C-alpha cells in the first residue's frame, strides 16, 4: 500500500518459489522479510542472482526486527545475496519510499550502463571493418578503450552500492562523468580516424575510475568499520594538493580561500580517508551556498585540555591538528546541528540524499582517535572542524620502489594464496608468476590448512580477511602455530575486525585494501619476503 500510494508498482509473493517466478519478468528491487529466509531453500534465488549479467547488481532490501536474531546473520546474507541493505521494522513510510526511490534510481543507471556497453560494442564492430589498415597504434588505443569500458562497469556497480546505502550518489556521478565523457570522446575520435592525443582521455577515465573506487571506503566510515591505514600526514600539503580539485567541485560563484598555518604539526590519520572527508565537506558547503559565497579551508595547531575533551567521552587531552571548512551559506538551526551526525538524518528532499556524509566523517574522526564539531548560525554560515591527533613517533621517510626494477624472486620462493574470489586469485597468482614466484592456491581456510600442515615450502601467506567460514586472521593464527614466524599479507575490501590496523596486525603482518594496484602488491610482497 505504501509503495502504491507513492506511485510505484509492486508485486507480492507469499514464498520464495513464487518470488523467483516473478523475477523472470524483471524487477527494480526486492523487498524480503527476514523470516521468509529462515528454513527456506535459497538455491533458486541464489542461482538467479549469480547468473546476473555483468552490468546488473539487483538491489535487495531485507526487513528485520530491532534486535532480531537475523541481524547477527546480516554479514552472512550480504555475502550470499550480494547487494543487500537492512531496514529495521517498524519504519516510517518516508524512510521506505526514500530507500526505494534511491535504489530504483541506481537500478535505472545499471540499465543505462548496459545500453552504453551495447552501443560501444556495436561501435567497435563497425570500427573493426573500417580500421583494418591502420597501424598498431590504433589497436593499442582500442584495447585501452575496452579497458575503460570495464572500468565503467565496475563504477556502475559501485554507484549502485552507494545509492542503496545513501547520500553519496552525487559524488559517484562526478566520477562517472569523467569516465563516460572520456569514453564518448574516445569513441568519436577513433570513429573519425583521429588517433593523436588519446592518452590524455584514457588517463582522465582511469583517474575518475580510481577516485570512484576510493569513495567506496566512505561507505564503511559511518559505522567505524573501515580499514584505516594511519600514518604521519602533512595536512598542509594534502590541502594544497587538493585545492585544484576543490575548485573544480565548486560553483563558479563560490570563492575558495585556503589558509594554512606555517608550522603545522604532523597529524596521524589515513590520508586517503582524510582526502575523502575534505572533499565531502566542500561539497556539503557548496550545496549550502546555491547563490554563491566563500568557502574557507583552514589548518591550525590545537591543544585540547581536559575541560574540552571531558564532554566527548573517549577523546583524550593533548595536541591535535585542526582542519576546518567554513562556508557563508544558509546555516543550520540548533535542532538540525544536534542531529547532523546521525546516520540517515537529512534535511534534503526525498531522493537527494540520505544523510550519510557527516556521519561518515564523524566515524572516521572517532576511529582515528580524534573528533569533529559543527558551529552554525542561520543565515551566516557553518564551520565544521576536524581534530586529528598529533603524530608523536619518529617520521621515517619512505623510499618508494620502482616496480619494473624490482628484483625477481629467488629460486624456490613460494607464496600461498588464499582467496575465495576466483578472479582476484587468478590475478594475484598471475602477477606473482611474472616475478618468478611459485605459488599454491586455496579458495578458503579449510582448503589452505592441509597445505600449511604439509612439507610444502611457504615464504609468505597472502589471505583475504573475509573468507567464508574461518576468516583470514584465524587462519593466520593457526598458520603461525604450525609455522612460527610465517609472514602474512592480508588483502581486504571490508573486514569488521580489521578496522584499526595497529590492533589487527602482529609483527610480520601487513594489509592492503581492495582495489589495490599491482605495483603496490608486488612491492609489498618483495619487501615482506626479503625482510629479515
Mark whether 460 and 511 lie in a shared domain.
yes
State how far the alpha carbon of 425 is from the alpha carbons of 24, 51, 151, 417, 444, in Å. Answer: 32, 20, 19, 7, 11
Residue where a domain stops, chosen among 91, 116, 141? 91
Range of the domain at 412: 403-530
Q: Which CATH number do you get for residue 506?
A: 3.40.50.2300
Mark whether 321 and 420 lie in a shared domain.
no
Mark whether 195 and 178 lie in a shared domain.
yes
SS3 52: coil
Q: 10 Å Cβ neighbour count for 137?
A: 11
Q: Which CATH number do you get for residue 276?
A: 3.30.565.10
Residue 404's pLDDT is 45
Q: Is 500 inside any structural domain?
A: yes
- Angstrom distance (rounded) from CA 396 to CA 408: 26
Q: Is 276 inside any structural domain?
A: yes
Residue where a domain stops, chosen among 361, 389, 417? 389
Mark whether 135 and 162 lie in a shared domain.
yes
Mark whether 180 and 238 lie in a shared domain.
no
Mark whether 364 and 247 lie in a shared domain.
yes
- Tens of pLDDT along the chain (532 residues) come to 888 888 988 889 888 888 888 888 888 899 988 888 887 888 888 888 888 888 888 898 888 876 655 555 555 666 778 888 888 888 888 999 999 999 899 888 988 888 888 888 887 777 776 666 666 665 676 677 777 776 766 665 444 344 444 445 545 665 676 677 778 878 878 888 877 778 877 877 777 777 666 555 544 444 444 556 678 889 999 999 888 888 888 888 899 999 999 889 999 888 878 888 888 888 888 888 888 899 999 999 988 888 877 777 667 888 999 999 999 988 888 888 876 766 545 555 544 444 456 767 877 788 888 888 889 898 899 999 999 999 887 766 555 544 444 456 677 889 999 988 887 888 888 888 888 888 999 989 999 999 999 999 999 999 988 888 888 888 999 999 999 989 999 887 654 444 444 556 788 888 887 767 778 888 888 888 886 5
- Angstrom distance (rounded) from CA 194 to CA 202: 14
- Angstrom distance (rounded) from CA 278 to CA 297: 9
178-208 burial, b for 16+ CB within 10 Å, e for fewer? bbbebbebbbebbeeeebeebeebbebbbeb
Residue where a domain stops, chosen among 357, 389, 421? 389
Q: Is 395 inside any structural domain?
A: no
Mark whether 85 and 102 lie in a shared domain.
no
- Angstrom distance (rounded) from CA 198 to CA 206: 13
Mark whether 234 and 315 lie in a shared domain.
yes
Mark whether 82 and 108 lie in a shared domain.
no
Q: Is 63 inside any structural domain?
A: yes
Mark whether 205 and 147 lie in a shared domain.
yes
Q: Is 394 inside any structural domain?
A: no
Number of domains in the chain: 4
Question: Which residue shows C-alpha cell 558547503?
Answer: 285
**Are the C-beta atoms of residues 490 and 428 closer than 8 Å to each other?**
no
Residue 368 CA from chain centroid, whole number: 18
This prediction has a pTM of 0.42
**Are the C-beta atoms of residues 109 and 212 closer than 8 Å to each other?**
no
Q: Is 366 inside any structural domain?
A: yes
Amino acid at each position: 500500500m505504501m509503495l502504491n500510494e507513492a506511485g510505484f508498482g509492486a508485486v507480492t509473493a507469499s514464498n520464495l518459489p513464487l518470488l523467483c517466478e516473478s523475477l523472470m519478468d524483471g524487477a527494480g528491487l526486492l523487498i524480503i522479510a527476514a523470516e521468509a529466509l529462515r528454513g527456506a531453500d535459497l538455491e533458486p534465488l541464489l542461482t538467479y542472482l549469480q547468473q546476473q549479467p555483468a552490468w546488473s547488481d539487483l538491489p535487495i532490501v531485507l526487513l528485520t526486527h530491532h534486535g532480531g536474531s537475523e541481524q547477527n546473520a546480516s554479514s552472512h546474507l550480504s555475502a550470499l545475496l550480494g547487494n543487500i541493505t537492512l531496514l529495521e521494522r517498524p519504519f516510517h513510510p518516508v524512510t521506505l519510499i526514500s530507500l526505494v526511490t534511491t535504489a530504483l534510481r541506481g537500478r535505472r543507471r545499471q540499465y543505462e550502463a548496459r545500453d552504453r556497453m551495447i552501443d560501444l560494442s556495436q561501435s567497435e564492430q563497425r570500427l573493426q571493418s573500417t580500421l583494418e589498415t591502420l597501424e598498431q597504434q590504433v589497436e593499442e588505443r582500442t584495447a585501452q578503450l575496452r579497458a575503460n569500458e570495464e572500468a565503467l562497469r565496475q563504477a556502475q556497480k559501485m554507484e549502485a552500492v552507494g545509492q542503496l546505502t545513501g547520500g553519496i550518489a552525487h559524488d559517484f556521478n562526478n566520477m562517472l562523468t569523467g569516465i563516460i565523457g572520456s569514453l564518448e570522446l574516445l569513441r568519436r575520435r577513433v570513429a573519425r580516424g583521429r588517433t593523436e592525443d588519446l592518452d590524455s582521455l584514457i588517463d582522465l577515465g582511469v583517474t575518475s575510475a580510481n577516485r570512484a573506487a576510493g569513495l567506496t571506503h566512505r561507505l564503511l566510515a559511518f559505522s567505524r568499520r573501515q580499514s584505516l591505514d594511519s600514518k604521519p600526514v602533512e595536512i598542509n600539503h594534502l590541502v594544497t594538493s587538493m585545492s585544484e580539485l576543490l575548485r573544480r567541485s565548486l560553483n563558479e560563484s563560490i570563492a575558495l580561500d585556503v589558509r594554512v598555518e606555517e608550522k603545522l604539526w604532523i597529524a596521524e590519520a589515513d590520508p586517503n580517508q582524510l582526502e575523502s572527508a575534505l572533499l565531502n565537506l566542500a561539497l556539503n558547503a557548496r550545496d549550502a551556498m546555491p547563490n554563491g559565497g566563500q568557502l574557507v579551508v583552514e589548518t591550525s595547531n590545537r591543544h585540547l585540555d581536559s575541560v574540552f575533551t571531558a564532554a566527548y567521552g573517549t577523546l583524550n587531552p593533548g595536541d591535535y591538528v585542526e582542519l576546518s571548512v567554513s562556508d557563508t551559506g544558509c546555516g543550520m538551526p540548533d535542532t538540525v546541528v544536534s542531529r547532523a551526525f546521525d546516520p540517515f538524518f537529512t534535511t534534503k528532499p526525498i531522493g537527494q540524499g540520505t544523510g550519510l556524509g557527516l556521519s561518515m566523517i564523524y566515524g572516521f574522526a572517532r576511529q582515528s582517535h580524534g573528533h569533529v564539531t559543527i558551529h552554525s548560525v542561520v543565515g551566516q554560515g557553518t564551520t565544521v572542524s576536524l581534530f586529528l591527533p598529533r603524530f608523536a613517533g619518529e617520521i621515517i621517510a619512505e623510499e618508494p620502489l620502482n616496480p619494473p626494477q624490482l628484483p625477481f624472486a629467488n629460486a624456490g620462493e613460494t607464496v600461498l594464496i588464499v582467496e575465495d574470489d576466483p578472479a582476484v586469485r587468478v590475478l594475484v597468482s598471475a602477477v606473482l608468476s611474472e616475478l618468478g614466484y611459485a605459488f599454491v592456491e586455496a579458495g578458503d581456510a579449510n582448503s589452505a590448512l592441509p597445505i600449511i600442515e604439509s612439507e610444502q615450502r611457504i615464504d609468505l601467506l597472502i589471505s583475504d580477511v573475509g573468507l567464508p567460514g574461518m576468516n583470514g586472521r584465524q587462519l593466520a593464527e593457526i598458520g603461525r602455530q604450525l609455522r612460527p614466524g610465517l609472514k602474512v599479507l592480508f588483502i581486504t575490501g571490508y573486514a569488521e575486525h580489521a578496522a584499526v590496523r595497529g590492533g589487527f596486525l602482529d609483527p610480520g603482518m601487513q594489509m592492503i585494501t581492495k582495489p589495490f594496484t599491482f605495483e603496490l602488491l608486488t612491492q609489498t610482497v618483495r619487501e615482506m619476503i626479503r625482510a629479515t
